[in-house]
Amino acid sequence: MVEEATRLFSLYGFRRTSVDEIAAAAQLAKPTLYAYFPDKDAILAAVVEAVLGCILTTAREAAATPGPIEARLSAVLSAKFTYLFGLVDRSPHASELLGSGSRVGAAQVEATDKDFATIVRRLVEAADEAGELDLSRAGLTSRRLTEALLRAGHGAAYHTRTPEEHAKHLGELVTLVVAGCRPG
C-alpha cells in the first residue's frame, strides 16, 4: 500500500492521487485500505515515514561499508539526496509533495535530518581519527565539514536530469570537498 502510494504521489501529486487509485494500485478494496489508514493524510504520513526510514537505513549501511572516504561519503549522501531527487525533485509535483509532506510529517523530517547529519558527522570524525582526513589542517571541525557536505548534497541537483547524473555530480562534489581535507 505504502509503496504504491509513494509511486502515485510522485507521479500525480498528493491532491490528484485518490484513495481509490491507491487501493487499485495496491490491489486492495477501498474498505481494506481504510482499515489501515483513516484518510489520505494518514497514507501520506506512512509514506513519509517509509521514505525517511529508507534514507536512514541506507545511509547507515553505506557508512559501514569499507572503501575510501569519498566513496563512503558519496554513498551516504546519495542515500538521501539522490533518492529524494529521483522520488520527489524530478516530479512535476515536487513543491506540492514537499509542502504536503512537511505539513504531515514535519517533526519526522526534522528528526531524520538530525539523525542523517549525525551519520555523516560520525563518518567524518572516524575518517579524521583514522588519518583519512585532517580536519585541523583544513581549518574545519567535523560539524563544519558535515554542513559543507550537506550543502553539496543539496547542490548536486543543479542541471541534473537523472538520478544517475545526480549521484555522479554528488560524487564529484564530495571528491572536491574531501580533497581540501586530505592529510598533507
The predicted model scores a pTM of 0.89
How far apart are alpha carbons 101 and 50 in whole angstroms? Answer: 12
Give φ, ψ of 162 to 5 degrees: -130, 160
Domain 2-179 has CATH 1.50.10.10: no
State how far Cα 178 lies from the chain centre.
21
pLDDT tens track for 118-173: 999 999 999 999 999 999 999 999 999 999 999 999 999 999 999 999 999 999 99
DSSP 161: -
How far apart are alpha carbons 56 and 58 in whole angstroms? Answer: 6
Q: What is the pLDDT of residue 94?
A: 64
Q: What is the pLDDT of residue 147?
A: 97
Write down the mean pLDDT value for the chain: 92
DSSP 90: T
Number of helical (H) and strand (E) elements in the chain, helices listed first: 9, 0
- Neighbouring C-beta atoms of residue 159, cutoff 10 Å: 7
Mean pLDDT, rounded, for 13-42? 94
The answer to whether 132 and 69 are in contact (CB under 8 A) is: yes
Q: What is the pLDDT of residue 98?
A: 65
- Going by pLDDT thresholds of 50, 70 and 90, the confidence category of residue 184 is confident
Q: What is the pLDDT of residue 95?
A: 67
Least trusted range by pLDDT, from 11-15, 33-37, 105-109: 105-109
Highest mean pLDDT out of 88-92, 98-102, 165-169: 165-169
Question: In the structure grid, which three cell numbers stand for residue 39, read together?
Answer: 484518510
CA distances from 58 to 10, 52, 65, 79, 128 (A): 20, 10, 11, 6, 22
Q: What is the pLDDT of residue 180?
A: 94
